Amino acid sequence: MQTSYDHDNIFAKILREEIPCIKIFEDEHTLAFMDVMPQTSGHSLVIPKEPVSTLYELSDEAALACIKTVKRVGKAVQQAMNINGSTVFQHNGKDAGQTVPHFHIHILPGSLFGIKGHAAEFADPDELKITAEKIIACL
């Protein structure tokens, strides 16, 4: 089911640089940055620059670009957080728990046990910047 894209969602504003983010990686098709409401330290997001809400609307080119970025950033997150595992997931639509209507993939280092709830509380921006610097150094 095609949804109408909300060009005023927070990720669209980040892509237009109307709202800042703590950037980890960017290329022609994707942007990776720190989740400001992390479920665990190192929680990162990968988004396409294509304006779509769900995986089912994403072009094949953007999907491939997102997976390539997830692989690259995910490896760096694991290395930076000194952990040998991660969880990668995404939600499709509000009924599935998607809180921002722009397709995005979550990268969480480590186990899902003991993590905070999704979008539960904001992190300290200075701590996010320190973690981002560690991840960037591993790219």
Domain hosting 125: range is: 10-137
Query: Can you say how many angstroms the Cα of residue 101 is from the centroid of all Cα atoms in its chain?
Result: 13
pLDDT in tens, 31-58: 999 999 999 999 999 999 999 999 999 9
Q: How many domains does the chain have?
A: 1
The verdict on residue 71 lying in a domain is yes
The verdict on residue 64 lying in a domain is yes
CATH, residue 36: 3.30.428.10
Of 29, 43, 104, 106, which is the active-site residue?
Answer: 104
**Which pTM value belongs to this model?**
0.90
Q: Which long-range contacts (CB under 8 A, 24 or more apart) does 129-133 make?
A: 129/22, 129/34, 131/34, 131/41, 131/42, 131/80, 131/81, 132/22, 132/23, 132/24, 132/33, 132/34
The verdict on residue 84 lying in a domain is yes
The verdict on residue 5 lying in a domain is no
Is 7 considered catalytic here?
no
The verdict on residue 103 lying in a domain is yes
pLDDT in tens, 75-120: 999 999 999 999 999 999 999 999 999 999 999 998 777 677 777 7
The verdict on residue 3 lying in a domain is no
The verdict on residue 17 lying in a domain is yes
The verdict on residue 102 lying in a domain is yes
